[in-house]
Amino acid sequence: MTLSLITGASKGIGKATAKLFSEKGREVINLSRTSSNLVGVSDVKLDLTEPDAASKVQALAARIEVQEIHLIHNAAVLLNDQTKTLDSVQFSRVLALNVIAPQLLNKFLIPKMAPGSSIIYIGSTLSEKAVKNSFSYVSSKHAVVGMMRATCQDLAGSGIHTACICPGFTDTEMLREHVGGSKEALEAVGNLSAYGRLIEPEEIASTIKFACENPVINGTIIHANLGQIEN
């Protein structure tokens, strides 16, 4: 049995991925502040932005044997902000979860990852473009792509592969909150794809599963956005 560790698996894409992996017979651990409430998924309560996060991750890693591990960096925070008004405290908060936390987990878990393991980063369409009012999120998701590419180079020869999945507009709690939650706003966002709808979290989960199982995609970005319409 392989071990899958997923950050933020209590909601959205992370939860859909945890459910899929568990149904496929994998051991799944949700690293999150809240429970996934999923049968077959173990919940480790962990706030990766807190000062004691490093010691808690180190303690978790000490209990894990060397084995095939799939580490999925899914947890993220999305704020409405602009470069001209964003303060350093808010910016640091976003970077702590979206950028620093993945590296913290990498540091302690890579030594436990046998050949065949994977590290999958969850980026965004905003990993390679930008929109207004999302300065910290755009900046952090661009950084995630760089982290993935650097991870690929640093782990060459290890038998561990990596990739960055960049979802388009996905029907998650985070997106609903970001656009205000109205039906009209969600429909407008959905119409930005060539399919005229939002992506389901389960669709991204299946893409993540593919990335975990196929080392041939090592070091690549996979856009999963239903074909985004560019204006």
Q: Which of 110, 125, 136, 98 is nearest to 58 (CA)?
A: 110
Residues in contact with 61: Cβ distance below 8 Å, sequence separation at least 6, in sequence order: 108, 109, 111, 112
- Give tens-digit pLDDT for 11-32: 999 999 999 999 999 999 999 9
- Give tens-digit pLDDT for 182-223: 888 888 889 989 999 999 999 999 999 999 999 999 999 999
CATH superfamily, with its number, for domain 3-168+201-224: NAD(P)-binding Rossmann-like Domain (3.40.50.720)
Look at residue 3 in the predicted model and tell me its pLDDT: 98
Confidence of residue 179 (pLDDT cuts 50, 70, 90): confident
Question: Domain limits of the chain?
Answer: 3-168+201-224
- Give tens-digit pLDDT for 82-132: 999 999 999 999 999 999 999 999 999 999 999 999 999 999 999 999 999
Confidence of residue 231 (pLDDT cuts 50, 70, 90): low
- The percent helix, strand, coil of the chain (3-state, each to 5) is 45, 20, 35
